[in-house]
C-alpha cells in the first residue's frame, strides 16, 4: 500500500498529560510524526493538535481510530483537500547580506522582514509546507544563520 | 460531610459496591490504609506482592463480572503492579488500581519512592489519573469505575499524592458521570446489521468466531441462542472457552496456533466469518495473507480500533455483542433455514472425525492431558479453572470440558507467567462456593509462589496442580521443533521440594506420579479445603499439538511430531 502524507487535527481536553497521551500513542505504536503543534482553543477547556503524519491507508485509519479511543479526545478530523494549511518559518540572516534581495524574496512568499538588528535581520514566511521548503532553499544563497520552522496548522474551509 | 482524602477513597469504594480490595501498604498510601483500618464496608486481602494483588483483583473481576480493585503504594509498589495492570489491559478486564504517590510538593524532585506512575502506565491502562487536588478526588473515583467497566473494559489507575489523602474536605460523591469526550456506542448501526444478516442468510459456509468480548458483555446465552437457532458452527478463542458448552455439537473447538484441526479448517474454508468480540490476534490467524481467504467478514466489536486493524472487514459493526446479536436474532428469526448449512456442517464433522484432538495415554507416566481430563470428570462445571502460561495452559484450553462463561480464567493476550495462582485466589474470594483449580507448570508457579502465605492466612483453598515436566515446557517445545534441540536455559531439573514448600507456608503438598495417587490427592485436596500444591510429575517431552508454526497458514498444522 502506498504511503501518503496526512494532516490530522485532534480536539482534546486541555489537561495535563494529554500531549503525552497523544505523542505516546504515536511512539508506542510505531507511527510517524512529521510535525505536531498544540495550542488551547480560545474560550474553552479544549486544545487543538495538528499532526502531520505519513503512512498507508490502513495505518492512517488506525491512527485516527486510536486517537479517537483516548478518553481525553473529543474529536479527530482527518483533513482532506478541503482545508487551509499553513506553516511558519523564521530565518536569521547576517546584516551584511543584501537586505533588498531578501526583502524581495520574502515578498514572493507573502512574508517579510520582522526584525532588524545591528548584526542580523529576521525574515518570516507563513505558507503551505511545500512553499516554505521552496523559500528555505531559495534563502540558501543569502547564507542563513539559523532557520526555525514551526509545525503545520490547518483549518477546514 | 467533612472527611480526609483517605476516607473519601474508602467511601467511594463502598459507594461503588466494592466488597473486596487486594493490596499491599507502604509509605505513600498509608493514610488510606489508616482509613481502611477504621472502616468495615469492605475487606482487604493482603497479598505478599503487589503484582499478585493486581492479578487477584483481575481474577476476581473475571470470575464475578464486577470491577476488581487493587491498592498499592508509590514507587516499587506501583512498578510491581505494572505487570498485573498490563495483563488486565490486554484482556480488557475492568480494574481500578489505586496507587499512593509522593506529596504534590515532592513530585518531580526524585523523592523517596517516587516514580512517574501515570507516565509508566499510560500505554497499559484504559485511562489514568494523577489526582492534583482534593476537590477532584470524588469525581475521579467515580469516573475511574465508570471508564473501567463501560465500553471496552480495562484497567484505570488513580495515583493519589500523600498530602491529598491527608487533607480534609467536603465529600460529595457524584451520582452520575459526565465525560463529554467519552461516549462508548453499544447499539450498532441498523443498516450494517441488516446487511450482515442478509450475508448470513446467503452464506453457504458461515462460521461463528467467538472471542472474549462475548463473555465481557455477558452475552453468552444470547450467542448460544443465536447458534442454536441458525445451526451455524462455532469456534471459541482462548478467551472465549465455555460460551457454547463443551458438549454442544455446534462447537468445533479452539482455532489458532494450538487449535484443533476442524476449527482451523473451518476458518480456512468458511465463506462468512461472523466475529463476535474477537480481535483476530496473530495466535488465532496465523499467516494473515492466507487467513480465511474465501470468507467475507462480519466484525462486531465495541472497540472501533479493532475493526479492520488486521483483517479487511466487509461488514464492520461497532457495538456491544449483546445489542448487536439481539438485533440480528430478531431480524433472522423468521427467515433462517438452518438446513441450508447442513452440507457445511457435514464437511466439518468429517474434519473432526479425521483429526480429533488426541494424545497417547500411558501406564508408565502421567500425561498432562489425562490429568486435565480427569479433573474435568471429577469436578466438571463445579470448578473455576485458572491457569498460568505455557504448555499446561494450552492443554487445559484444549482438554478441560468448559461448560459456562467465566469458568476459565487465563492470561490470554499478555501471556503472564505467575498469573494463575493469585488470579485463582481472587476468583475463589469472588465465587466462594466453587472449587478453584489452578493448572500451572513448574516454571510458572514459582513466579508468584509467595501467595501460598496469602491463601493460607485467609483460608482461600486454591488447588494448584503443577504439571511438572522439569522444563520450561513451551519454550522447550519450540527448541525441539525449531532450534535443533538446543535446550538453552529451559531445563528446570533443579527444583524446590514443592510439597515441603506448600507445607512451610501453611498449605498442603502432594507428590503424585500415578493415576491412583492423583485421584487420591485430588479427593483429599477437595476435602481438606486448604491451599495446596499438587506436584504432578508428567512425561517430560510431551508436546502441545496440533501446532501451526509461527507465521504459518492455519491449514498447515503439525498434527503429530515424530522424534527423529
The answer to whether residues A96 and A121 belong to one domain is yes
pLDDT (tens digit, 9 = 90+) per residue, A26-76? 999 999 999 999 999 999 999 999 999 999 999 999 999 999 999 999 999
Strand partners, A73: A12
Over residues B327-352, mean pLDDT: 96
A71 CA: distance to closest CA in chain B (Å): 6
Residue B427 has pLDDT above 60, yes or no: yes
Judged by CB atoms closer than 8 Å, whether chains meet at A66 and B305 is answered as yes
3-state secondary structure of B234: strand
Identify the band that residue A1 occupies on the pLDDT scale cut at 50, 70 and 90: confident
pLDDT tens-digit readout, B464-495: 999 999 999 999 999 999 999 999 999 999 99
Q: DSSP 3-state assignment of B484?
A: coil
Going along B184-335, which residue ranges are E strands?
A: 206-210, 234-236, 251-253, 272-276, 296-301, 315-318
Q: Per residue in A89-148, pLDDT tens?
A: 999 999 999 999 999 999 999 999 999 999 999 999 999 999 999 999 999 999 999 999
Collect contacts of A126-133 with beta carbons under 8 A, ≥24 apart: A126/A86, A126/A87, A126/A88, A126/A89, A127/A86, A127/A87, A128/A85, A128/A86, A128/A87, A129/A52, A129/A85, A129/A87, A132/A87, A132/A88, A132/A89
Across the A:B interface, residue pairs with CB atoms under 8 Å apart total 37
Residue B66 has pLDDT above 90, yes or no: yes
Is the CB of A12 less than 8 angstroms away from the CB of B305? no
CATH no. for residue A148? Answer: 3.30.70.1150
- Domain termination site, one of A78, A103, A120: A78
Strand order from edge to edge, sheet including B408-409: B408-409, B383-387, B435-441, B462-468, B532-537, B508-512
Q: What residues of A are in the B interface, CB distance below 8 Å?
A: 12-13, 16-17, 20-21, 24, 28, 58, 61-62, 65-66, 68-69, 71-74
pLDDT at A7: 96
Q: Are strands A146-156 and A83-94 parallel, antiparallel or unpaired?
A: antiparallel
Q: Quick check: B397 pLDDT over 60?
A: yes
pLDDT digits (tens, 9 = 90+) for B275-331: 999 999 999 999 999 999 999 999 999 999 999 999 999 999 999 999 999 999 999
Q: How far is A113 from chain B (nearest CA, A)?
A: 41
Dist CA B253 CA B263 (whole Å):
6
Q: What is the CA radius of gyration of chain B?
A: 24
Residue that is written with C-alpha cell 523523592 in the block: B111
* pLDDT for residue B488: 98
Q: Are residues A138 and A112 in the same domain?
A: yes
Under CATH, to which class is B190-354 assigned? alpha beta
pLDDT for res A33: 95
Q: Is B267 noted as a catalytic residue in this protein?
A: no
pLDDT at residue B560, rounded to an integer:
87
pLDDT (0 to 100) of residue B563: 63
Please tell me the total count of domains within chain A.
2
Which DSSP state fits B535? E
A16, A21, A65 ranked by CB distance to B305: nearest: A65
Q: 3-class DSSP state for residue A31?
A: coil
Return the CATH number of the domain spanning residue range B2-170.
3.40.50.970
Of these residues, B11, B16, B50, B114, which one is catalytic? B50
Q: Given B122, B181, B304, which is nearest A73 (Cβ)?
A: B181
A65 with A112, same domain: the answer is no
My answer on whether A109 and A50 are in the same domain is no
Residues A135 and A70 in one domain: no
Pairwise CA distance, residues B518 & B504, whole Å: 22
Residue B201 pLDDT greater than 70, yes or no: yes
Direct distance between the N- and C-terminal alpha carbons of chain A, in angstroms, rounded to an integer:
29
pLDDT for B86 equals 98
Pick from B410, B425, B468: nearest CA to B48: B425
Is A108 in the same domain as A70? Answer: no
| pLDDT at residue B564, rounded to an integer | 52
Which residues of B lie closer than 8 Å to A, measured between beta carbons? 118-119, 122-123, 126-127, 130, 132, 147, 179-182, 303-305, 308-309
What contacts B485, CB < 8 A, 6 or more positions away? B479
Q: Does residue A109 share a domain with residue A48? A: no
Per-residue pLDDT, averaged over B90-109, amounts to: 98
Determine whether B407 is an active site residue: no
User: Do A99 and A53 fall within a single domain?
Assistant: no
Beta strand pairing call for B532-537 and B462-468:
parallel
Both A53 and A71 in one domain: the answer is yes
The model's confidence at residue A80, banded by pLDDT at 50, 70 and 90, is confident
Contact A20 B179 (CB under 8 A): no
How many of the other CB atoms lie within 10 Å of CB of B119?
14
Distances (CA, A) of B258 to A17, B39, B215, B284, B471: 41, 48, 21, 9, 19
C-alpha cell recorded at residue B421: 495462582
A45 vs B contacts (CB less than 8 Å): none
- The three state secondary structure string of B106-158 is HCCCCCCCCCCHHHHHHHHCCEEEECCCHHHHHHHHHHHHHHHHCCCCCEEEE
3-class state of residue A104 by DSSP: helix
What was the pLDDT predicted at B1? 84
- Note whether A121 and A73 are same-domain residues: no
| Every domain range in chain B assigned CATH 3.40.50.1220 | 190-354
Architecture of domain B368-537: 3-Layer(aba) Sandwich (3.40)
Average pLDDT over every residue of B92-105: 98
State the complex-level ipTM. 0.92
Q: Residue A81 burial (CB < 10 Å; 0-12/13-18/19+)? A: exposed
* CATH number where A34 lies: 3.30.70.260
What mean pLDDT is reported for chain B?
A: 97
Of the candidates B415, B352, B356, B419, the residue with the CA atom closest to the CA atom of residue B385? B419
B292-303 burial code (b ≥16 CB/10 A, e <16): beebbbbbbbbb
Q: How far apart are CA B488 and CA B443, in angstroms?
A: 14
Strand order of the sheet with strand A46-55? A35-40, A46-55, A4-13, A73-78
* Whole-number percent of chain B with pLDDT over 70: 100
Handedness of CA B558, B559, B563, B564 (dihedral sign): negative
Long-range residue pairs from B525-529, CB within 8 A, at least 24 positions apart, any chain: B525/B463, B526/B379, B526/B435, B526/B463, B528/B461, B529/B459, B529/B461
Kind of pairing between the strands at B408-409 and B435-441: unpaired
pLDDT confidence tier of residue B508, bands split at 50, 70 and 90 = very high
Measured CA distances, A91 to A117, A120, B416 (Å): 13, 10, 53
Please, are residues A86 and A31 in contact by the beta-carbon 8 Å criterion?
no
Q: Taking Cα atoms as reference points, which of A52, A50, A40 lies closest to residue A16? A: A40
Which residues in chain B are classed under CATH 3.40.50.970? 2-170, 368-537
For residue A138, the SS3 value is helix
How far is CA B441 from its chain centroid? Answer: 17
* Domain hosting residue A140, numbered range: 83-156
Say how far apart CA B478 and CA B398 lie, in whole Å: 19
Q: Which of residues A12, A43, A78 is at a domain's end? A: A78
**Cα separation of B513 and B455, whole Å?**
25
Q: How far apart are CA B97 and CA B144, in angstroms?
A: 9
Task: Find the catalytic residue in B39, B43, B112, B528.
Answer: B112
Domain C-terminal end among A45, A78, A111? A78
| CA dist list (Å): B452 to A70, B49, B73, B360, B526 | 39, 11, 22, 34, 17
Cell 543569502 locates to A142
Scanning every residue of chain B, which has its alpha carbon at the shortest distance from the alpha carbon of A71? Answer: B182
Helix axes B30-37, B5-15, angle to 10 degrees: 60
**Quick check: B343 pLDDT over 60?**
yes
Q: What is the pLDDT of residue B561?
A: 83
Q: Which of B536, B528, B537, B535 is nearest to B507 (CA)?
A: B528
pLDDT of residue A81: 86
Does one domain contain both A94 and A152?
yes
| Cα separation, A102 vs A82, whole angstroms | 32
Amino acid at each position: 500500500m502506498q504511503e501518503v502524507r496526512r494532516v490530522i487535527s485532534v480536539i482534546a481536553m486541555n489537561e495535563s498529560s494529554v500531549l503525552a497521551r497523544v505523542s505516546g500513542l504515536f511512539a508506542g505504536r510505531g507511527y510517524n510524526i512529521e510535525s505536531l503543534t498544540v495550542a488551547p482553543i480560545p474560550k474553552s477547556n479544549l486544545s487543538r493538535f495538528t499532526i502531520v503524519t505519513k503512512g498507508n491507508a490502513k495505518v492512517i485509519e488506525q491512527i485516527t481510530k486510536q486517537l479517537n479511543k483516548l478518553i481525553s479526545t473529543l474529536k479527530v478530523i482527518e483533513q482532506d483537500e478541503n482545508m487551509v494549511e499553513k506553516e511558519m518559518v523564521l530565518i536569521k540572516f547576517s546584516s551584511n547580506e543584501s537586505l533588498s534581495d531578501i526583502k524581495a524574496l520574502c515578498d514572493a512568499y507573502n512574508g517579510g522582514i520582522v526584525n532588524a538588528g545591528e548584526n542580523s535581520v529576521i525574515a518570516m514566511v507563513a505558507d503551505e509546507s511545500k512553499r516554505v521548503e521552496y523559500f528555505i532553499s531559495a534563502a540558501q544563497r543569502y547564507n542563513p544563520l539559523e532557520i526555525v520552522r514551526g509545525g503545520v496548522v490547518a483549518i477546514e474551509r | 460531610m467533612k472527611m480526609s482524602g483517605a476516607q473519601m477513597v474508602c467511601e467511594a469504594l463502598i459507594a461503588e459496591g466494592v466488597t473486596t480490595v487486594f493490596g499491599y501498604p507502604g509509605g505513600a498510601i498509608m493514610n488510606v490504609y489508616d482509613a481502611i483500618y477504621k472502616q468495615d464496608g469492605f475487606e482487604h486481602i493482603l497479598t505478599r506482592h503487589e503484582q499478585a494483588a493486581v492479578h487477584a483483583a483481575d481474577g476476581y473481576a473475571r470470575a464475578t463480572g464486577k470491577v476488581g480493585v487493587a491498592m498499592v503504594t508509590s514507587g516499587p509498589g506501583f512498578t510491581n503492579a505494572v505487570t498485573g495492570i498490563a495483563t488486565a489491559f490486554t484482556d480488557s478486564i475492568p480494574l481500578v488500581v489505586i496507587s499512593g504517590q509522593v506529596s504534590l510538593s515532592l513530585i518531580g524532585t526524585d523523592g523517596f519512592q517516587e516514580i512517574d506512575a501515570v507516565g509508566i502506565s499510560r500505554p497499559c491502562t484504559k485511562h489514568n489519573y494523577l489526582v492534583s487536588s482534593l476537590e477532584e478526588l470524588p469525581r475521579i473515583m467515580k469516573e475511574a469505575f465508570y471508564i473501567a467497566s463501560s465500553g471496552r473494559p480495562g484497567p484505570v489507575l488513580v495515583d493519589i499524592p500523600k498530602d491529598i489523602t491527608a487533607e480534609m474536605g467536603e465529600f460529595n460523591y457524584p451520582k452520575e458521570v459526565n465525560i463529554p469526550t467519552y461516549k462508548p456506542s453499544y447499539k450498532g448501526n441498523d443498516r450494517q446489521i441488516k446487511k450482515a444478516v442478509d450475508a448470513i442468510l446467503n452464506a453457504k459456509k458461515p462460521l461463528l468466531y467467538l472471542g472474549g468480548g462475548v463473555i465481557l458483555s455477558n452475552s453468552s446465552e444470547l450467542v448460544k441462542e443465536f447458534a442454536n437457532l441458525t445451526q451455524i458452527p462455532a469456534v471459541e478463542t482462548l478467551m472465549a472457552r465455555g460460551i457454547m458448552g463443551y458438549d454442544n455439537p455446534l462447537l468445533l473447538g479452539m482455532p489458532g496456533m494450538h487449535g484443533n484441526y476442524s476449527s482451523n479448517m473451518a476458518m480456512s474454508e468458511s465463506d462468512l466469518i461472523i466475529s463476535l468480540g474477537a480481535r483476530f490476534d496473530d495466535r488465532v490467524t496465523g499467516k494473515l495473507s492466507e487467513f480465511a481467504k474465501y470468507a467475507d467478514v462480519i466484525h462486531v466489536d465495541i472497540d472501533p480500533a479493532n475493526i479492520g486493524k488486521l483483517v479487511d472487514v466487509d461488514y464492520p459493526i461497532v457495538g456491544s455483542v449483546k445489542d448487536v446479536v439481539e438485533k440480528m436474532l430478531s431480524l433472522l428469526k423468521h427467515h433462517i433455514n438452518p438446513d441450508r448449512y447442513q452440507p457445511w456442517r457435514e464437511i466439518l464433522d468429517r474434519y473432526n472425525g479425521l483429526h480429533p484432538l488426541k494424545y497417547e495415554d500411558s501406564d508408565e507416566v502421567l500425561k498432562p492431558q489425562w490429568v486435565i481430563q480427569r479433573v474435568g470428570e471429577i469436578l466438571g462445571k463445579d470448578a473455576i479453572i485458572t491457569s498460568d502460561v505455557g504448555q499446561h495452559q494450552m492443554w487445559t484450553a484444549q482438554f478441560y470440558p468448559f461448560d459456562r462463561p467465566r469458568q476459565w480464567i487465563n492470561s490470554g493476550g499478555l501471556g503472564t507467567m505467575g498469573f494463575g495462582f493469585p488470579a485463582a485466589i481472587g476468583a475463589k474470594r469472588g465465587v466462594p462456593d466453587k472449587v478453584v483449580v489452578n493448572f500451572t507448570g513448574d516454571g510458572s508457579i514459582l513466579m508468584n509462589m509467595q501467595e501460598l502465605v496469602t491463601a493460607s492466612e485467609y483460608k482461600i483453598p486454591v488447588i494448584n496442580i503443577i504439571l511438572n515436566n522439569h522444563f520450561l515446557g513451551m519454550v522447550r517445545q519450540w527448541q525441539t521443533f525449531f532450534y535443533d534441540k538446543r535446550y538453552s536455559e529451559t531445563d528446570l531439573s533443579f527444583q524446590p521440594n514443592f510439597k515441603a514448600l506448600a507445607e512451610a507456608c501453611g498449605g498442603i503438598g502432594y507428590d503424585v506420579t500415578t493415576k491412583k495417587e492423583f485421584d487420591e490427592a485430588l479427593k483429599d485436596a477437595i476435602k481438606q479445603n486448604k491451599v495446596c500444591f499438587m506436584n504432578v510429575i508428567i512425561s517430560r517431552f510431551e508436546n502441545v499439538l496440533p501446532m501451526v508454526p509461527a507465521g504459518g497458514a492455519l491449514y498447515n498444522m503439525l498434527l503429530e511430531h515424530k522424534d527423529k
